[in-house]
Every structure is written in C-alpha cells, then in structure tokens.
Structure 1
Amino acid sequence: MTDAPYPNPAAASLRRLLARPGLVMMPCCFDALSARLIEQAGFELTFLSGFAASASRIGAPDLGLMSFGEVRDQARNVMEAINIPMMVDGDTGYGNPMNVLRTVEGFARAGCAGVMIEDQVAPKRCGHTQGKAVVDREEAFDRIRAAVEARGRADIVLKARTDARRTHGLAEAIERAQTFTELGAEMVFIEEPLDIDEMRTICKEVPGAMVANMLEGGQTPILPPAQLEELGFKVAAYPLAALSAAMQAMVGTLAALKAGKDHTGGLMPFAELRDRIGFNAYYETEARYSRRDSTFRRT
C-alpha cells in the first residue's frame, strides 16, 4: 500500500471546475499583476504562459531559455497574489523522465493546480512559430508516465500536449493524445488544429478534458466560447490576450510620450490603479491593527 500523495487544494479546485458543466475560460497570465487582474475580471482559472512569462521575466522569446527554477519562482510569486487556481507550463519537463519527475512534483509542492508537459524536442518552441519538432512516441509517452508517477507523490492535474499535428499530421497527433489519456493525463491539448473540422474531430476522438488554444494571430481559428463548448472543448486558453494588450498599450503610450503628445488618454485612473494593486485593502488592514495597537497601549 502506498502513501497518499502530498495534498494540493488548488488541484482539487481545478478538478471541481473541470467536473462542472460548461466551458472554462482560462486567460493566461505572465506575472502577479496580470494574474490579479484576471481574477478581478471574474475568471476562475489562469495559466502561467511560458511565452508570456519568458517575455515578462527575461525579455526573451519562448525558445526554452527559462529554467525550471525561474519558472517555479515566477509561479510562486503569481500564486501569492491570487485566490484562484493556476496551471503552469512545464514545457518538455526540462530533460529526461527523471527531470520530468522533479519538475511535476516541484510544481505540485509549490501549489500549482496543474502542469502541462509536451512532446516537443528540447529546447521547445512556441507552438505557432517556426522550427518546432517532436520527439518519437516512446519518449513522449515516457514523459507522461513520469508525470503520472510524480502526481502519485504530490497531487496536481496533468495536462498533456502534443505538437505532432504540424510535423506528423492530425492522425498521429490524435493517437498520441489518446495514449496520453490512457496513461493518466486528465487534460489534453492538441496544438495547431487548422480548421473547425479538425477541432471537432479532436474532441470526438480523444477522451478527457480537451483544451482549445485561442491564440490571436495563430494557426487555429478563433471561435466564440459557445461554439468551442458545442464542439466539445472543456477549457479555452487565451495565452497572449493579456500580454499583447499590455504591450500594445505601453508601446502607444510611450510613443506619444516620446513625441511630446498627450499620453494620458489611455491611462487607467490613478485611484483605480491603486485599488486594483491593493493599496486600499492594505490600508483597511493597517487601520484594524492600528486600532488594536492603540487599545493595547491604553490598557
């Protein structure tokens, strides 16, 4: 008899979301502030995007440059700022199956609700950019086997991803995804279906909670949530919506400032900015303790 895995309340929360009827919308974050804004907007789940986190933390493209330690540190910072569950991009597991074991268990013990492990050749690349390749089937399956073993030590929701659609065709991608679920993956993500028919086929042929990647400007059609649910998807990920919007706003504001023009039109009011960051909540808490301190001093 084996011991129960290290408990993870965030994983339990994510499983409750997946068990609920309807599509779960998952805007992706890149730091603590973006995650807090996602929660404030009323979303119940977020994902620390590898693309967005790499851009935010090290100012570099998502080409496998960030280490496991850097991603875990970023994840911890984000989770301290929010109360909703957060998944994390585990890339290829950062090495062989032994590395996958450490990666998945490490994210679980850090409190991440879920982790994504993919079948790309390391160093991985963004799924909608050039030059990506996938490992052979057995190496891909070994990564998921190792991830499942790690989940037995520390609980976490496992999301398995395949990028085989571009390099090997849809049938190979589906077969890999089917095996991922047989091995124990709870969520499945086939990257880069090219049209609605392929998206429908994926949901029909692969069991488990299917993830749609709604990358604006990518290869997969951007569909409304109701249509994604009708096709059979359980989760809709929006990997770059927050990052792209933030970058667009910053570039425009800085250009206006550089040109000596009025740059204030697109700014958030200072009072709202302070409130969203948490100044008002801080002051309210501070006031409670200040009252207690004065009562203590009087007595």
Structure 2
Amino acid sequence: MKKAARLKSILARREAVLMPGTPNALFANVIENLGYDCAYITGAGVTNMYLGAPDVGLITATEMTEHIAAIADSVQIPLLVDGDTGFGNAINVGRTVRSYERAGAAGIQLEDQVFPKKCGHFNGKGVIPTAEMVQKIRAAVDARADDDFQIVARTDAIAVHGIDEAIERAHRYIEAGADVTFVEAPETVADLRRVTAELPVPQIFNFVYGGKTPPVAHADLRAMGFGAALFANAALQAALLSVTDVLTSLRDEGSLDKVRDRLASFEARQQAVRKDDHDSLEKRYS
C-alpha cells in the first residue's frame, strides 16, 4: 500500500492514532524505530531547529520541501506535513501540494490564517475569509496526483470568531474537498467533543505542551473518535531541555561526568542513524 493510502486508512480508523512530530530525519528515525504508525513534519519545529526562529511564517516552501525529501528518504512510515498557509494564494497552494507530494509527503495540512501566520497557540492571529480558504482547498485537491494524498484543512477561527464559526468553516472546507479537518486550539473538552460529533470527516487533536488546549487522556480521544492525536513538538521540547541541561553542566563542570545519564550511548546513536544498514551496503558494493 502506498504511503498516502496508508495515512488515509490510519486516519479513517478514528482511533486517535498517536502522531509525533519531527523537525528532521534523525527524530523521524526514532519515531519509526519505536513503532509509531505515522509522523508529522512540523513547520514550527523545522523553523525552530533550522532557522532558530519562532513560528511566525518565516520558513519557505522550498526549505520545507527539502526537509520532506530528507525525512521521507529515511523512513517508511507515512508523513503528514505542515503546509502553513500554502505559501501564497490558491495558485501557490497547488504548486506547494505538487512539491510536497513529489518530495514524499503522504498528506498536507493547510490553514486559514492570514500571512504571515503564527503558531496556533500564539495570541494575535488573524484568518482569511472562508471563501478564500475554500478556493485554496479546491486548488489543493485539483493539484494532487494521488487521490489518496490527504488534504487536511485547519481552521484557526476559534481564536478570532469562536467555536461556532470554526465548526462552520470546517463544514465548508469539507464541502470543498478536504479529507480531514483540524479545528485548532479548542480551550475546553466540551468544544473538543463538538468537533468530532458535528464534523463528518476524521479530525486532528493537537496538544501543545503549555498551549491553549487542555490535556486529554488518549482513551478519551479515542472515545471521541479523533483520527489522530498530534504531538507536534514533544520531541523537540524534550531535546531542547536535555541539550540545555547537558551543555550547562559541561560549561560549569568542564566535563560530562554529572550528566552521563542524559546522553544516548555511542551505540544508540549509531542505531538511530541505522549504521548497520549502511555497513551492509558498503559490504555489498565493495
């Protein structure tokens, strides 16, 4: 089964599949090695790690596509990829979809924020008119080569207009051809229940540690019928904390003696990058 079809099947189960986010191929390898069914390439994470900048619309389509290609080349699990606002109007969205699909994505998430966008859990967001986003979704659907390539339409309207408007927008996006919708940053469990109860296609739950949406037990998300439970930057935040702790100790102590338990072993590092596979290839072609 092709990766797009696999992602479609995973989301259609509505079992709130755990979908960790990755900003690079190394973390994607770890996700796959741990047995996850799919992963998410996070625009915020790529922006943070590649540019050292906040998620405020700075990453480009070209930079994202290069990351997709590297990650898709490294893992076999299907990848849903953050497409932000599509990097322009409906015409730009079509080109973005074609580029993402060629690079190895199994689906794209597009959002209805104004450009430059902001992290979904930042204040001060704005959204474009519903009709404009409908045309972007239509362009995305028309541009994909594989009908199973998943078009995920995200709305950030809760922050601007409230939950009723967000759900109404999601309905319009489904009518335009979105396979999945993603109502960003609900602030109550009651609103989360409304999302899955009132919208007919699979839904994305997005948990941002420290963000606006409350934590919900995985069993409850499954009971609500979410298609995926997205933890877009859990790996990045874990890595950032560990790097800070280890390098602080190195600065203060002049050695790694006090933080050895925070370091992956040399062997674990090589396993994460699948050095054994490369060794096998070297023997094969020597």
TM-score relative to the length of structure 1: 0.91
Select which of 258, 274, 280 maps to 2:276. 280
| Counterpart pick for 2:60 among 43, 61, 67 | 67
Does residue 89 in structure 1 map to residue 82 in structure 2? yes
Seq. identity, %: 39
- Name whichever of 147-156 and 252-261 sits farther off: 147-156
- Supply the AA of the counterpart residue of 2:273: I
Following superposition, the deviation at residue 288 of structure 1 comes to: 3.9
Local SS of the residue matching 2:261 = coil
Aligned equivalents of 2:203 and 2:12: distance in 1? 13
Partner SS for 2:223: helix
- In the TM superposition, residue 85 of structure 1 has moved relative to its aligned partner by 0.5
Name the aligned partner's letter for residue 77 of structure 2. I
User: Contact 1:212 / 1:233 at 8 angstroms: preserved in 2?
Assistant: yes
Q: Deviations over 1:236-265 (max 9, x none)?
A: 000110000000000000000000163322
Any idea what the Cα deviations from partners look like across 1:77-112, whole Å, max 9, x if unmatched?
111110101111111111111101111121112221
Tell which has more relative contact order, 1 or 2 (C-alpha 8 A, sep 6+).
2
Contact 2:14 2:202 in 1 (8 A): no
Higher-Rg structure is 1
Conservation of the 8 A alpha-carbon contact between 1:119 and 1:134: yes
Partners of 1:103 and 1:183 in 2: how far apart? Answer: 18
Q: How does 1:180-195 map to 2 (within 5 A)?
A: 180-195=173-188
Q: Which residues in structure 2 correspond to 1:1-299 (within 5 Å)?
A: 9-20=2-13, 22-151=15-144, 156-260=149-253, 262=257, 263-290=259-286
Letter in 2 for 1:78: I
Deviation at 1:167, TM superposition (A): 0.5
Tell me the matched-pair count: 283
Q: State the Cα RMSD in Å.
A: 1.6
**CA shift for structure 1 position 154:** 7.2
Moved more, 211-220 or 260-269: 260-269
CA drift of 1:51 comes to 0.6
Query: C-alpha deviations, 1:206-252, integer Å up to 9, x for none?
Result: 11010000111111111121110111211100011000000000000
Structure 1 unaligned segments of length 5 or more: list them.
Answer: 1-7, 291-299
Contact 1:29 1:46 in 2 (8 A): yes
Q: Which structure 2 segments of 5+ residues have no match?
A: none
Deviations 1:9-60 (A, max 9, x none): 2211212222346221100000000111111111011011011011111111
State the alpha-carbon separation in 1 of the partners of residues 183 and 16 from structure 2.
17
CA offsets 1:49-72 (integer angstroms, 9 cap, x no match): 011011111111111111110110
CA distance in 2, matches of 1:96, 1:153: 22
Q: Secondary structure at 1:233's aligned position in 2?
A: coil
Contact 1:158 1:186 in 2 (8 A): yes
Whole-Å separation in 1 of the counterparts to 2:14 and 2:56: 36
- Counterpart contact for 2:82–2:108, Cα < 8 Å: yes
Structure 1 distance, partners of 2:37, 2:247, is 33
**Larger displacement relative to structure 2 (209-218 or 265-274):** 265-274
Cα pair distance change 1:238/1:179, threshold 3 Å: same
Structure 2 length as normaliser, TM-score? 0.95
Greater shift, 273-282 or 63-72, is seen at 273-282
